[in-house]
């Protein structure tokens, strides 16, 4: 049954409080009231289930139109990592607050979950309508990776002579290559400084005409190589996370790889969101024909994402 927006409602947000948290047979001090967080990663002992005692209150008088209405309340805990949505009914006590207990199994608490309280009352037809909601608490089981600063470059660029003895093996084996990308935990893009004109062109601050057009095309081509390398790493991580279930839909662990998948998914036709992209990735593991089709679509999407098609189109138009 759908809860719908209605009038009247409480004018202020309701107040949701986590009174206590219990696990492993005892109460544990993992509630951060100031930041509205429950730190499950701080629980002591080998626990399977954690219980949260909740209280929902209103900091204002009941709206006159709701006096006598059969108000009901509940707390909703949801999390995208485990696709969980758990409801805990809250009962009205003598002091005018709603209280209840939310129990979470350990398997349901991956990542960060959102916890919020709601008050509901039916209209004249008996349809439940939303009358008030609280601010949101975070229930944290695993701390997320620290986001990159806006100025941080996730891929390290290294200019190196591919002919040098200490160059990576593949660089030495292909000394005429312009660039070489290595994915992994710390991805690196090697650029061949043996090709002096190539280095001067890419590093030119104010290229004009033909140099600018070539710089745009070269830069987009290199960006496409890097993106494909990261996507290959993402597909490998997702395949490993799927385990024995080859058809299982999974995602990479690295935040950088997740961001790449999200960006490419936005450029692919017929893909509604990144979850659909992960499903296509899983389907591609099942057959060679689907793998070939998926990779062909990736080529088109990546070229659009990095601006390679546009750079070639613009250059062609300018030299007509």
Out of 45-49, 84-88, 283-287, pick the least confident. 283-287
Q: Encode 275-318 in three state secondary structure.
A: HHHHHHHHHHCCCHHHHHHHHHHHHHHHHHHHCHHHHHHHHHHH
Give the contacts of 60 (CB within 8 A, at least 6 positions apart): 10, 11, 12
pLDDT (average), residues 295-306: 90
Cis ω before 3 (30° cut-off from 0): no
pLDDT (average), residues 144-155: 54
What does each C-alpha distance from 286 to 216, 240, 258 come to in angstroms?
A: 37, 14, 22
pLDDT at 28 over 80: yes
pLDDT at 4 over 50: no
pLDDT (average), residues 291-304: 89
Cα distance between residue 130 and residue 115, in whole Å: 16
pLDDT at 1 over 60: no
Amino acid 2: pLDDT = 47
Sign for the pseudo-dihedral over CA of 166, 168, 170, 174: negative
Coil, strand or helix at 12? coil
Amino acid 3: pLDDT = 44
Amino acid 131: pLDDT = 82
Cα distance between residue 184 and residue 243, in whole Å: 20
Reading the block at residue 129, the tokens are 């309508």
Amino acid 74: pLDDT = 92
Is the full-model pTM beyond 0.85?
no
pLDDT (average), residues 133-155: 68
Better pLDDT: 114 or 61:
114
Q: How confident is the model at residue 153 (pLDDT cuts 50, 70, 90)?
A: low
Better pLDDT: 167 or 243:
167
In 3D space, the residue among 201, 190, 197, 188 whose CA is nearest the CA of residue 161 turns out to be 190
| Buried/exposed code over 5-20 (b: 16+ C-beta within 10 A; e: otherwise) | eeeebbeeebebbbee
Residue 26 burial by CB count (10 A; 0-12/13-18/19+): exposed, middle or buried?
exposed
Better pLDDT: 140 or 11:
140
pLDDT (average), residues 170-187: 90
pLDDT (average), residues 238-252: 65
Cα distance between residue 113 and residue 140, in whole Å: 6
Amino acid 18: pLDDT = 94
Amino acid 172: pLDDT = 92
Coil, strand or helix at 18? strand
Q: How confident is the model at residue 29 (pLDDT cuts 50, 70, 90)?
A: very high
**Is the CB of residue 138 less than 8 Å from the CB of residue 114?**
yes
Domains identified in the chain and CATH numbers: 4-140 (2.60.40), 156-318 (no CATH)
The pLDDT tens digits of the residues spanning 179-238 come to 999 988 888 999 999 999 988 888 888 778 788 888 889 989 999 999 999 999 888 888
In whole numbers, what is the pLDDT of the chain averaged over residues?
83
pLDDT (average), residues 104-114: 83
Amino acid 241: pLDDT = 67
Out of 42-46, 132-136, 150-154, 275-279, pick the least confident. 150-154
Better pLDDT: 161 or 249:
161
Q: How confident is the model at residue 314 (pLDDT cuts 50, 70, 90)?
A: confident
Q: How many CB atoms lie within 10 A of CB 118?
A: 22
């Amino acid at each position: 049954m759908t809860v719908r927006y209605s009038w009247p409602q409480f004018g202020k947000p309701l107040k949701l409080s986590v009174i206590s948290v219990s696990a492993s047979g005892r109460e544990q001090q993992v509630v951060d009231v100031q930041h509205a967080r429950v730190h499950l990663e701080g629980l002591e002992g080998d626990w399977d289930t954690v219980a949260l005692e909740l209280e929902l209150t209103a900091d204002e008088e009941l709206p006159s139109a709701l006096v006598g209405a059969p108000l009901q309340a509940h707390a909703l805990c949801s999390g995208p990592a485990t696709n969980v949505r758990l409801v805990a009914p809250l009962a009205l006590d003598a002091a005018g607050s709603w209280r209840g207990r939310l129990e979470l199994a350990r398997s349901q608490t991956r990542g960060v979950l959102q916890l919020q309280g709601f008050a509901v009352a039916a209209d004249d037809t008996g349809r439940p309508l939303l009358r008030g909601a609280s601010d949101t608490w975070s229930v944290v089981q695993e701390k997320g990776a620290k986001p990159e600063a806006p100025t941080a470059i996730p891929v390290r660029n290294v200019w190196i002579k591919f002919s040098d003895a200490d160059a990576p093996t593949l660089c030495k084996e292909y000394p005429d290559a312009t660039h070489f990308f290595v994915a992994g935990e710390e991805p690196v893009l090697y650029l061949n400084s043996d090709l002096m004109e190539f280095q001067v062109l890419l590093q030119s601050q104010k290229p004009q005409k033909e140099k600018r057009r070539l710089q745009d095309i070269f830069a987009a081509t290199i960006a496409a190589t890097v993106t494909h390398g990261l996507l290959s790493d993402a597909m490998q991580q997702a395949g490993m996370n799927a385990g024995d279930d080859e058809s299982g839909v999974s995602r990479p662990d690295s935040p950088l790889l997740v961001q790449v998948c999200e960006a490419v998914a936005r450029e692919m036709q017929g893909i509604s969101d990144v979850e659909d992209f992960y499903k296509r990735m899983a389907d591609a593991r099942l057959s060679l024909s689907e793998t070939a089709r998926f990779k062909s679509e990736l080529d088109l999407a990546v070229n659009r994402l990095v601006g390679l098609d546009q750079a070639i189109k613009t250059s062609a138009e300018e030299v007509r």
